[in-house]
Amino acid sequence: MATVTFDKATRIYPGSTKPAVDALDIEIADGEFLVLVGPSGCGKSTSLRMLAGLEDVNGGAIRIGDRDVTHLPPKDRDIAMVFQNYALYPHMTVADNMGFALKIAGVNKAEIRQKVEEAAKILDLTEYLDRKPKALSGGQRQRVAMGRAIVREPQVFLMDEPLSNLDAKLRVSTRTQIASLQRRLGITTVYVTHDQVEALTMGDRVAVLKDGLLQQVDTPRNMYDKPANLFVAGFIGSPAMNLIEVPVTDGGVKFGNSVVPVQRDALSATSDKTVTVGVRPEHFDVAGPDSDLGVAVTVNVVEELGSDAFVYGTAQLGGEAKDIVVRVGGRDVPEKGSELHVVPRAGETHVFSTSSGARLSD
Ligand SMILES: Nc1ncnc2c1ncn2[C@@H]1O[C@H](COP(=O)(O)OP(=O)(O)O)[C@@H](O)[C@H]1O
Ligand SMILES: [Mg+2]
């Protein structure tokens, strides 16, 4: 087992001037499950491939434990990677697929068989060992790809969107299996996904990337409670946080007819006349159409989830129509076309600089 360190690791692809990954700094603890998440093209796969040795590092360093692996070939790094397309050999049985890397490494047959059987047991694949990949379901193929990584007993697991070929239901159950398997094996894991729900549910910590730049590394809880900037605020959470530009006034911000108190420090940190306030859908106080509280929201769509419901509406704010999402109780659902008045609950707002995007509240 080992720690993994990205030390200002940079990748500039030939012919490009802009780094695909720009001075990435992350320290991953021994046994930790770290998830790299961000929109398509933000540099997740490139980061993982640099760690695997499949991509040159043009600046900075990468360490596994106290070994500098920056320029080591992949085979000398003691890692195992699970790819999105599984990359199984179609003409080989499950057992041969799982044992292939050990065979190449010259491990004797009996030992390979023993390790493959152990992994198959963990992954519930024992009865499929003699089948070919084409005779397996998507979920079973995914487990074979995991098994191939497990038998090598590497210091680090790398996984690049390993669930993206599974249907939605299987994706949810498999993500729990992978997370619990990782915890059982205790092997340091770097896992890439573009899906923020997957990131929050699986990771000990989550690292958010945008345009090759690290935005925040944090526990799922902190990432949700204290997003470091407007990008993370909008990216983490579903439905997304409402981000609303509002005027600064004495003691707070003006939200329609109401003044919402926010931290004094947050406002003294900026000389701007407006700030962007972030409010999660579950953090509005809601009143009926006769109220003069906050702003009026016209209900466009209601998404009922049983226990609660999400109201998708439009409000007039600063002379513009603004979409707003509000969570309400499941037994308290407004009609489409009706009007609600909403005001952010004091103490539950996030304040960001509109100009720089930086978080101003603590
Ligand atoms: N082999 C390559 N040559 C040139 N540019 C590449 C190559 N691979 C990826 N890129 C570019 O680098 C950026 C990051 O890509 P990638 O790491 O694959 O993103 P992600 O995995 O987050 O979707 C993108 O702009 C992509 O177009
Ligand atoms: Mg990718």
Q: What is the DSSP string of 302-360?
A: EEE-SSEEEEEEEEEETTEEEEEEEEEETTSPPPTT-EEEEEEPTTS-EEE-TTT-BB-
In ligand 1, which atom is closest to the CA atom of 43? 17
Distance 129 CA to ligand 1 centre (A): 36
Segment 286-334, tens digit of pLDDT? 988 888 889 999 999 999 999 999 999 999 988 889 999 999 999 889 9
155 & 298 share domain: no
Residue whose CA lies nearest to ligand 1 atom number 6: 13
Is the C-beta atom of 20 inside 6 A of ligand 1?
yes
Amino acid 240 reads A
Instruction: Give 119's pLDDT tier (boundaries 50, 70, 90).
Output: very high
Average pLDDT over residues 239-260: 93
Per the model's pLDDT, the better-predicted residue between 229 and 164 turns out to be 229
Neighbour count for residue 32 (Cβ, 10 Å)? 18
251 & 217 share domain: no
Whether residue 101 is predicted with pLDDT greater than 80 in this model: the reply is yes
130 & 255 share domain: no
Last residue of a domain, one of 209, 231, 253: 231
Distance 157 CA to ligand 1 centre (A): 21
What is the predicted pLDDT for the residue at 290?
85
In ligand 1, which atom is closest to the CA atom of 21? 14
Whether residue 1 is predicted with pLDDT greater than 80 in this model: the reply is no
Residue 221 to residue 200: CA distance in whole angstroms = 8
Q: Is 258 helix (H, G, I), strand (E, B) or coil?
A: strand
Tell me the H-state helices in 135-167: 138-150
What is the predicted pLDDT for the residue at 86?
82
What is the predicted pLDDT for the residue at 150?
92
Segment 153-194, tens digit of pLDDT? 999 999 999 998 888 888 998 899 899 999 999 999 999 999
Last residue of a domain, one of 185, 213, 231: 231
Q: How many domains does the chain have?
A: 2
Whether residue 260 is predicted with pLDDT greater than 80 in this model: the reply is yes
Is the C-beta atom of 24 inside 6 A of ligand 1?
no
226 & 247 share domain: no
Neighbour count for residue 354 (Cβ, 10 Å)? 16
Whether residue 109 is predicted with pLDDT greater than 90 in this model: the reply is yes
161 & 291 share domain: no
311 & 196 share domain: no
Instruction: Give 29's pLDDT tier (boundaries 50, 70, 90).
Output: very high
* Residue 255 CA: distances (Å) to CA of 154, 247, 262, 291: 54, 8, 12, 14
What is the predicted pLDDT for the residue at 338?
95
- Here the tokens at position 297 are 């929201």
Neighbour count for residue 186 (Cβ, 10 Å)? 12
209 & 118 share domain: yes
**CATH assignment at residue 261:** 2.40.50.140
252 & 205 share domain: no
Task: Identify which ligand lies nearest to the alpha carbon of 55.
Answer: 1
Residue 73 to residue 244: CA distance in whole angstroms = 49
Whether residue 266 is predicted with pLDDT greater than 90 in this model: the reply is no
What is the predicted pLDDT for the residue at 301?
97
What is the sign, positive or negative, of the torsion defined by CA atoms of 110, 112, 117, 122? positive
Per the model's pLDDT, the better-predicted residue between 354 and 270 turns out to be 354
Average pLDDT over residues 53-71: 97
User: Which residues constitute the domain of residue 175?
Assistant: 4-231
Whether residue 275 is predicted with pLDDT greater than 90 in this model: the reply is yes
255 & 146 share domain: no
**CATH assignment at residue 163:** 3.40.50.300
Is the C-beta atom of 46 inside 6 A of ligand 1?
yes
Distance 44 CA to ligand 1 centre (A): 8
Instruction: Give 271's pLDDT tier (boundaries 50, 70, 90).
Output: confident
What is the predicted pLDDT for the residue at 292?
87
What is the predicted pLDDT for the residue at 278?
97
Instruction: Give 14's pLDDT tier (boundaries 50, 70, 90).
Output: very high
What is the predicted pLDDT for the residue at 166?
87
Last residue of a domain, one of 198, 231, 264: 231
> Is residue 360 in some structural domain?
no
Is the C-beta atom of 44 inside 6 A of ligand 1?
yes
The percent of residues above 70 in pLDDT, for the chain, comes to 100
Task: Identify which ligand lies nearest to the alpha carbon of 211.
Answer: 1
Q: What is the pTM of this model?
A: 0.93
Whether residue 126 is predicted with pLDDT greater than 90 in this model: the reply is yes
What is the predicted pLDDT for the residue at 197?
95
Distance 283 CA to ligand 2 centre (A): 34
Amino acid 315 reads A
Mean pLDDT of the chain: 94
> Is residue 278 in some structural domain?
yes
What is the predicted pLDDT for the residue at 268?
82
244 & 337 share domain: yes
> Is residue 359 in some structural domain?
no
Residue 205 to residue 219: CA distance in whole angstroms = 4
Whether residue 203 is predicted with pLDDT greater than 80 in this model: the reply is yes
The percent of residues above 90 in pLDDT, for the chain, comes to 83
292 & 339 share domain: yes
- Smallest Cα–Cα separation from 67: which of 151, 150, 159, 156? 156
> Is residue 190 in some structural domain?
yes
Average pLDDT over residues 188-213: 97
Instruction: Give 265's pLDDT tier (boundaries 50, 70, 90).
Output: confident
What is the predicted pLDDT for the residue at 319?
85
Whether residue 210 is predicted with pLDDT greater than 90 in this model: the reply is yes
200 & 323 share domain: no
